[in-house]
Amino acid sequence: MVSERGLAVLRAIVQDYVASREPVGSKSIVDRHAFGVSAATIRNDMALLEEEELIVAPHTSSGRIPTDKGYRVFVDQLSDVRPMSGAQRHAIETFLGESNDLDELLSRTVRLIAQLTNQLAVVQVPTFQTARVRHVELVQLAPTRVLCILITDGGQVEQRLAELSDAVDSDTLADLRVRLNDVADGKTVAEASAALSGELTTTDPRHAAVLHTLALTLAELARAQRGDRLVIAGAANLVRTEQDFSGSILDVIEAIEEQVVVLRLFGEMASDPHGIAVRIGRENAPFGLAEASVVSTAFAVPGRDVSRLGVVGPTRMDYSTSMAAVRAVARYLSRTLGER
């Protein structure tokens, strides 16, 4: 059982190690922090922390650094997440407020988070996986050119041009529209994508090729609605921390580039009472990120599924700053997107 002073010593070690990247000794703790006890007493506290596997000596006769378990205790003991300053909040609103559409907003979001935290920033693009297809429309622009339109129950409208191998008349197109609506209407976009990609029959075999082309075009529209992807910025920040990783940083970068890995990790991250989730070091081993920490939180876009944003970096991370930045930006996103 770690005492209150022991936890305070752990906090000091984490803070000093994050700031300096140097192992922390008892003398430096006494010099930098007002504990009001001797270096010998601090050494005793550090010995107990080491027994609890919260800190470790990287070299013989050196100071101590936090372990993954120590970082976890430190994060769990954070009684509050330091709020962003007024100037920082104003900067967030100014920088993100200049965005004209969702794609630009998300691009600016990751660039801003990377700058605020000095970490690699990721944001999950909001999708419509739970949305249902309300209607399929086909608009003939030319005998072999049709505009395919997919409308969801959330009011989202997506369209794409289809080039046909054979010309069709308006009556044929009307029949095909009915057939495609029979296949897709009322289904989730995921179900519609699968159904439209399958084998479809038509009353007139001569139109099978046209039906197939139109169905695949609509399937691609549905797939685009449900396809999770990430927007990433700040890779240079990760490279600058390479010495914080004992293995090759390429393994971390490759895991992040496999976007499905981060999306799976996001899906498993539950937020704490502050609305923030933190996964540290070995907790991320199943995702190939055993030497990295991930801080994330959720944000909501009306009519879309809840998405997450966050940062990825070494375990030697300024958790308080990262948590505050991630939370502040997510709140701004949710509020702004709710007003649009």
Which part of the chain has CATH 1.10.10.10? 4-76
User: What is the CATH code for 86-127+228-339?
Assistant: 3.30.450.40
Burial class (CB in 10 A: 0-12, 13-18, 19+), 101: exposed
Render each residue's pLDDT in the chain as its tens digit; 340 residues. Answer: 789 999 999 999 999 999 999 999 999 999 999 899 999 999 999 999 999 999 999 886 679 999 999 999 999 988 667 778 888 888 888 888 888 777 888 999 999 999 999 999 999 987 766 678 889 999 999 999 999 999 887 667 888 999 998 899 999 999 999 999 999 999 888 788 889 988 888 777 888 899 999 999 988 887 766 556 899 999 999 999 999 998 888 888 888 888 888 988 988 887 665 689 999 999 999 998 999 999 999 988 766 667 899 999 999 999 999 999 999 999 998 888 776 5
Among candidates 333, 324, 326, 332, which has minimal Cα distance to 84? Answer: 324
| CATH topology assigned to domain 4-76 | Arc Repressor Mutant, subunit A (1.10.10)
The neighbouring-strand residues paired with 24 are 64
Which part of the chain has CATH 3.30.450.40? 86-127+228-339
Give the β-pairing of 120-124 and 230-233. antiparallel
| CATH topology assigned to domain 133-226 | Enolase-like; domain 1 (3.30.390)
Residue-wise DSSP of 290-304: TTEEEEEEEE--TTS
Which part of the chain has CATH 3.30.390.60? 133-226
